[in-house]
Amino acid sequence: MTPGRPGDNAGPPRLPPRRAGPPAALVEVVGMLCVLVGLIVVFGLLTEHFFSRTTFYMIAAQVPDAAIAAVGMTFVLIIAGIDLSVGSVLALGGAVLGVAIVRWHVPVPLAVSACLAVGLLCGAVNGLVTVAWRLPSFIVTLGMLEVARGATMTVLDSRTAYVGSAIEGISEAAFLYLPVPFVLALLTVAGGQLVLTYTAFGRHVVAVGSSEETARLCGVNVPAVKLRVFALCGLLASLAGVMQVSRAASANPNAGTGFELETIAAVVIGGTSLMGGRGSVVRSFFGVMIIAVLTSGLAQLGVQDPTKRIITGLVIVAAVVLDYYRQRLGRRPA
Amino acid sequence: MRRTVLALVVVAGLVVCGCGDGRPAEGDKPRVALIMKSLANEFFKTMEDGARAHQQANAAKYGLICNGIKDEQDVQKQIDIVNQMIAQKVDAIVIAPADSKALVPHCKKAQAAGIVVVNIDNKLDDAVLAEQGIRVPFVGPDNRKGARLAGEYLAKKLAAGDEVALVEGRPNALNGIQRKLGFEDAMKAAGMKIVSSQSGYWETENATKVVGGMITQHPDLKAVLCANDSMALGAVSALKAAGKLGKVLVVGFDNISAVQGLMKDGRVLCTVDQHADRIAVYGIEYALEILDKKTTPADRETPVDLIVPDGVQVPIDPVQ
């Protein structure tokens, strides 16, 4: 499929040297971990019950959708693209899932497959149009944002579908005291990072993002890489949709409104460049966690809404500024 | 290849336009424009369906043009629609304003063009109406009363001094504010303690996060009152994650179809039905009456019912 598989000696020359071996990756994560721990400590001091099992269990129950979508978005940003349609694709996937179960009485595994297929299809169309006409993904995925939202409303007839116990099992199940969706999200993050760091495909993704022209000259099939990245992002967005539907026990036509910006913010907090060529899935996950802890903490404080928004905005910018200094420190010894 | 695609797109576009809004048949019968808020919202969708059904049953009496905006904050788009309807020279405009102040001057413009304007759902601001020197009859439910009824029903299941929390709608939405006030009226009257009140922006996901914070911070919380049913769904999902289903009561508003299942499962205590399908119809009937009899416009209140699990409607406010 890909020109040059891992361990293939005759493959194309090694593309940009990869910096992030495991220890280096650990160092990269330290800064974000500090921000996260800092936030937890602050909220722990400010509120009475923040340090409780419930708080952390609830955060674990709430992040899977954002964490999974952030994996796909990280890949998209690394190839210097953007996907504005993830929120709508999430909603469309959820709508298909909900309607399949409630109206068509399809067994759950089949309904989930249909949901994922729809996400994959939306992502593939995004990729195909972007590649075929060499269009900016910004505008292509903006189109998909509208199309998928319209399709969602059509499928659901603009009404929230209550799915109930058929789908709740997924979010209620626990594995090692952790909600199953959270475990699934961790696996997706780990898998995404492994693919990015250790496979030829992962390195091609970084190469395309660094310089498309160089990558092409080095023998990378640029359109194929892009297409797959967008398809992956669509697929993961619909998987996030499964998580939301199972959590709310219902499919909502307005689900995921503004989700794309939330996801992009988390990924950028994680230090992935909007210019492409640089990024880490694990760090995106920390970005998601920072936003989740912040949301949960502010809700526990009962902060008034305008204040909530101001604080959230400031923390996002502060995290990115901190990352700038971390990078400068990181570069100095090299 | 590209040309084929282009042609397909154009054809598709034509098809879409062709079977778009059912253009009213021309003739002597009056044309009524129904201008709503977000069609993505089940409430307005129900409203539109009700209006279309009514028009089909009364096709000889009037023609109907339905329009809505993408989301409830798209005030500018709604203003554009009002102006398009003025240009279309419709006989009456029935409008659920996205903003209770910004739309007033445009309603004035419509009246100046000889169009009957009826305000439904979200009441135009009295002060701005007075300032512009116009009167627009309002046909709609009393949100505050509806919320108070739900609150009073809840209070019977609680003891005085119990802790409760509110999940508000979008901060600038008048109906959301009215519902919050209604909940507060009932809770204060029954001596409950409101320990937190935060906005869930009408959406399930936001409410999940907000309620998640509330129940950890206030472990003794006994009830959550939500300004709409979508947020009640979110509250239920947060309670589920915290293992507090059944220990904390949930109240909703709007009676969307999804909430029926939740009430049957005992996860939502009660909700309030404003009969969305009738609201636009009342507005249209009122507009036709004004056109016909040239009566002086006065406000008209539409019914609000408390809905409890066993499917019993508790009629509160029979029309007229």
Nearest-angstrom CA–CA distance, A78 and A274: 7
Weakest-pLDDT range from A83-97, A278-292, B306-320: B306-320
Cα–Cα distances (Å) from B127 to B75, B101, B109, B141, in that order, read: 19, 9, 17, 20
CB B194 within 8 A of CB B166: yes
Whether B209 sits inside 8 A of A299 (CB atoms) is yes
Answer yes or no: is pLDDT of B11 > 90. no
Instruction: Verify whether the Cβ–Cβ distance A160 to B256 is below 8 Å.
Output: yes
**Token code pair at residue B60:** 């000889």
Contact with chain A for residue B303, Cβ under 8 A: no
**pLDDT for the residue B282:** 92
The two three-digit tokens of residue B237, written as one number: 């999902």
* Stretch among A19-23, A104-108, B3-7 having the lowest mean pLDDT: A19-23
Burial label for B294, CB within 10 Å (0-12, 13-18, 19+), is exposed
* pLDDT higher than 80, residue A3: no
pLDDT band for position A126 (cuts 50, 70, 90): very high
Contact B183, B225 (CB under 8 A): yes
Element (H, E) at B224: strand B221-226
Helix ranges, A104-221 (H): 108-132, 137-156, 165-172, 180-198, 200-210, 212-217
User: Nearest Cβ partner of B209 from A62, A162, A253?
Assistant: A62
* Residues A292, A62 contacting (CB under 8 angstroms): yes
Confidence at residue B288, expressed as pLDDT on a 0 to 100 scale:
92
Tokens of A155: 């499928």
Give DSSP secondary structure letters for B87-154.
Answer: HTT-SEEEE--SSTTTTHHHHHHHHHTT-EEEEESSPPPHHHHHHHT----EEE--HHHHHHHHHHHH
B277 band by pLDDT with thresholds 50, 70 and 90: confident
Residue, of A324 and B55, whose pLDDT is higher: B55
Q: First and final CA of chain B: distance in angstroms?
A: 64
Determine contact: A88 vs chain B, CB below 8 A: no
Tens digits of per-residue pLDDT, A71-98?
999 999 999 999 999 999 999 999 999 9
pLDDT at B9 over 80: no
Residue B293: the pLDDT is 86
Q: CB distance A160–B233 less than 8 Å?
A: yes
Per-residue exposure over B262-275, b if at least 16 CB sit within 10 Å of its own CB, e if not: bbeeebbbbbbbbb
Closest-CA residue of chain B to A180? B241
* Gap between the Cα atoms of B264 and A44, Å rounded: 38
Any chain A CB within 8 A of the CB of B260? yes
Name, in order, each residue with C-beta under 8 angstroms of B276's C-beta and a sequence gap of 6 or more: B43, B44, B46, B47, B50, B254
Gap from B317 CA to chain A (nearest CA, Å):
26
Residue B64 corresponds to which amino acid?
A: L
* Residue range(s) defining the domain that contains residue A256: 22-39+50-329
Give residue A26's pLDDT.
65
Q: How far apart are CA B197 and CA B280, in angstroms?
A: 31
CA distance A81 to chain B (A): 24
Q: Nearest C-alpha of chain A: how many angstroms from B53?
A: 16
Q: Is the separation of the CB atoms in B239 and B271 below 8 Å?
A: no
Structural domain count of chain A: 1
Q: Do residues B206 and B174 lie in contact, with contact meaning Cβ atoms separated by under 8 Å?
A: no
Q: What is the pLDDT of residue A155?
A: 94
| CB-based burial, A44-68: b 16+ in 10 Å, e otherwise | eeebeebebebbbbbbbbbbbbbbb
Q: What is the largest CA-CA distance in chain A?
A: 61
Q: What is the pLDDT of residue B18?
A: 38
Q: Give the best residue of B9, B38, B180, B205 to mutate against chain A (max A CB count within 10 A).
A: B205
pLDDT at A19 over 60: no
User: Who has greater pLDDT, B218 or B2?
Assistant: B218
**How does residue A54 score in pLDDT terms, banded at 50, 70 and 90?**
confident
Domain spans of chain B, in order of start: 25-141+276-302, 143-273
Q: What pLDDT digit, counting tens, does each position of B111-166 carry? A: 999 999 999 988 888 888 999 899 999 998 999 999 999 999 999 999 999 999 99
Residue B178: is it exposed, middle or buried by C-beta count within 10 angstroms (0-12/13-18/19+)?
buried
Mean of the per-residue pLDDT values of chain B: 86
The pLDDT confidence band at residue A316, using thresholds 50, 70 and 90, is: confident
**Within 10 A of A196 (CB to CB), how many other CB atoms are there?**
23
Q: Quick check: A217 pLDDT over 90?
A: yes
Short-list B131, B113, B122, B46, CA closest to B78: B122
Q: Which CATH number is A127's domain given?
A: 1.10.3470
Q: Which residue of A has its CA nearest to B209?
A: A296
Band of residue B41 on the pLDDT scale cut at 50, 70, 90: confident
The reported pLDDT for the residue numbered A243 is 94
More confident residue, A274 or A223: A223
Residue contact A248–B234, C-beta within 8 A: yes
B259 in reach of chain A (CB within 8 A): yes
pLDDT at position A315: 86
Structure tokens belonging to residue B93: 């405009």
Average pLDDT for chain A: 87
Name the DSSP class of B158: S
Q: Is A144 exposed, middle or buried (0-12, 13-18, 19+ CB in 10 A)?
A: buried
Q: Does A164 touch chain B (CB under 8 A)?
A: yes
Length of chain A: 334
Nearest to A115 by CA among A198, A236, A27: A236
CA-nearest residue to A254 within chain B is: B40
Q: What is the pLDDT of residues B47-97, one digit of tens each?
A: 899 999 999 999 999 999 999 887 766 788 899 999 999 998 999 999 999
Q: Which of residues 97-156 of A touch B (CB under 8 A)?
A: 149, 153
Percent of chain A at pLDDT exceeding 90:
60
Amino acid at residue number A262: E
Would strands A174-175 and A178-179 be described as parallel, antiparallel, or unpaired?
antiparallel
Residue in chain B closest to A172 (alpha carbons) equals B241
Give the C-alpha distances (Å, rounded to integers) separating B273 from A286, B43, B302.
Answer: 43, 10, 11
Note whether A41 and A50 are within 8 A (CB). no
Would the CB atoms of A253 and B241 count as touching at under 8 Å? no
Chain B hits for A48, Cβ within 8 Å: 217
* CATH for B143-273, options being 3.40.50.1000, 3.30.559.10, 3.40.50.2300, 3.40.50.740: 3.40.50.2300
Nearest to A302 among B198, B236, B241 (CB): B198
pLDDT band at B8 (very low <50, low <70, confident <90, very high): low
CATH 3.40.50.2300 is the classification of domain B25-141+276-302? yes
Q: Which helix (H) or strand (E) holds B69?
A: strand B63-69
- Nearest residue to B305 (alpha-carbon basis) of B280, B270, B264, B281: B270
A302: left (phi over 0), alpha (psi -120 to 50) or beta: left
Contact at CB, A58 and B242, closer than 8 angstroms:
yes
For B212-250, what is each residue's pLDDT tens digit?
999 999 999 999 999 999 999 999 999 998 989 989 999
Q: Is residue A334 a part of any domain in this protein?
A: no
CB contact under 8 A, B241 and A299: no
Residue A75 CA, chain-centre distance (Å), reads 9
